[in-house]
Chains A and B, each alone.
Chain A
Amino acid sequence: MDETSKNVPENDIKLPTGEKLVVSSSPHLSSPERTSKIMGRVLLALAFPAAAGIWYFGLRAAWVIFLTTVFCVAAEAVWCKLARKPVKATILDGSAAVTGVILALNLPPHVPFYVPLIGAVLAIWIGKQIFGGLGYNPFNPAVVARVGLLIALPAIMTTWPAPRGMNSGYPSFKEFKTSVDAVTCATPLSIAGTMPKSTDRYETSHFRKIDNVELIKKYALGCKGGCIGETCIPAIVFGAILLVCFNLINWRVPICYVGTVAIVTGVVNYFYPGVTPSPLFHLVTGGLMFAAVFMATDMVTCPITGTGCVIFAVGCGVITSVIRIWGNYPEGVSFAILFMNALVPLIDKASALRPFGHTAKPKEVAK
């Protein structure tokens, strides 16, 4: 009976041969997430500050961004070729491009072509590939390059062309092409840095000149001297929202970083208004916002656990504020991030999770 019932469908049943069977460890499914997708989304988020930078600093800024990105990708390709690593796969993961764009947004808009070149080599070779490539680098490659350039070429790295519309307030389309002028200006932070400090408790701040409501509005919108990507705060915040929505950064890092800077500078400003400008001034000037969103949050060089991220971000905030208030450098975000990157292995150790079931006694929570 079963002979017949089996034979009937046998002819039109297609049975597998097993030739294509692959054995592998479980699990056999995976999420659609890919490293290259993550990098692509980061690039998308970076497009906002980049566009704002181009809007304020003209096509020259676009050229710098393009050049740095190309150099970074090229540096990665050359290293992979020399180290006999797969070139195409390494380039296509997109990490070099992300590093390139972040580095470019950290450069002054009018740097000569060799600055992106040196930066790219520093970032990709010294900052990343020498450690074994993506994921193994303890320091953020873009930050390594930026600090390296800042130390090696201080004059170029601290010459800031004035943004378009510096005087009129907002740039207009008419000016877009004519803006390649050599008018330089100081960043608000560097002006603050050169002002004399006074520890007089009751002095009404001489920072009033650079730290008032009108100017802070202007600073926040991006109309100030500075690196390409760091000036326009709304663009950065938009990028941050995008990154958090995509679950690409730990939201604790930017919040705690910016919050710590605000608290530290706020406390100092409250007691000694002659020492440092208001916290609001600190938030909207310099690279703080950009660094807090795009540089400190780099997955590779930030602690893995939430607690670790908080420790890391608070550390970054404290060091940034200390350097800004008392240090020689007007801006301290890169140094702070670099220093805290070095602390990450220790933070990871200290903030290791308590694995499930590792308590002295099981707790009764429900029922």
Chain B
Amino acid sequence: MKYIELAVGAILVYNFVLSRFLGICPFLGVSKRISTALGMSGAVITVMTLASAITSAISRYLLVLKFEGKVYDLRFLQVLLFILVIAALVQIIEISLQKLSPKLYQALGIYLPLITTNCAVLGAATINANVGRSVLDATLFGCFSGIGFALALVLFASLRERLDLAAPPRACAGIPLALVTAGILAMAFIGFSGLC
């Protein structure tokens, strides 16, 4: 039951993109095609899960060190360390993707290295640290958050593919229309408030 709540909370109620408004940059950047959105979703889910696991381990076991009876509180390093881990993970993903799927690598372009600065990933890590989740919970939360991000991204990409065929006034075409759509999508997600 606890994990269902965790999942519903991370995917729907507190959706990273549409409720917490984190990770907007790739949300707008790689949502033109469903195929690239799926690729990005995969990358983000991987990074978020791994990053949540490693950072929660770091924050539990490394940030408050007890050494020879003394307590070293390193929590001021939290953001720095998290970014370090995330950056390294993204680098690994990028290297592997370039080899494994050059097409997807091309399609994602600049947005792939930018996962480093995707506030959703750092946000997941920070929320885990602040709530003090166990490594397992944190990993699951990271994974669910990633799925929530993926859901929002794929939904949005499918809508944008349909909007591609629409005939909006010139002033509204492109990003303005995408932002309006994202806003309406966010309104729909408000309905889930209170589920957990």
Contact = CB atoms under 8 A, between A and B. Distances in A.
Interface of A: 83, 126-127, 130-133, 136, 138-139, 144, 147-148, 151, 319, 322-323, 326-329, 332, 334-336, 338-339, 341-346, 349
A346 B190 contact: no
B162 A345 contact: yes
Given A131-B166, A138-B181, 15 more contacts: A126-B184, A131-B177, A147-B187, A147-B191, A327-B192, A327-B193, A329-B193, A332-B191, A335-B190, A335-B192, A336-B191, A339-B191, A344-B162, A345-B159, A346-B158
A338 to B, nearest CB: 4
Interface stretch (B20-28, B78-86, B123-131, B167-175): B167-175
B154 interface: yes
B194 interface: yes
Nearest to A337: B188
Nearest to A343: B155
A148 B181 CA distance: 13
B166 A144 contact: no
Q: Which 3 A-B pairs have the closest CB atoms?
A: A335-B191, A328-B194, A136-B166
Contacts of A136: 163, 165-168
Given A138-B162, A336-B191, A342 B167 contact: no
Given A132-B167, A132-B169, A338 B184 contact: yes
B185 interface: yes
A341 B193 CA distance: 19
Interface of B: 154-155, 158-159, 161-163, 165-169, 172, 176-177, 180-181, 184-185, 187-196
Nearest to A132: B167
A326 B195 contact: yes
A342 B155 contact: yes
Contacts of A346: 154-155, 158
B191 A342 contact: no
A345 B193 contact: no
B19 to A, nearest CB: 13
A138 B188 contact: no
A345 B161 CA distance: 8
A47 B90 CA distance: 58
A144 B184 contact: yes
6 contacts: A130-B172, A144-B184, A147-B187, A332-B191, A335-B188, A342-B155
A133 B165 CA distance: 12
Contacts of A151: 187, 190
Contacts of B172: 130
B32 to A, nearest CB: 13
A275 to B, nearest CB: 13
Contacts of B165: 136
Given A329-B193, A329-B194, A345-B158, A130 B187 contact: no
Contacts of B192: 323, 327, 335
B51 to A, nearest CB: 28
A144 B191 CA distance: 12
Contacts of A329: 191, 193-194
A322 B168 CA distance: 35
A151 B189 CA distance: 12
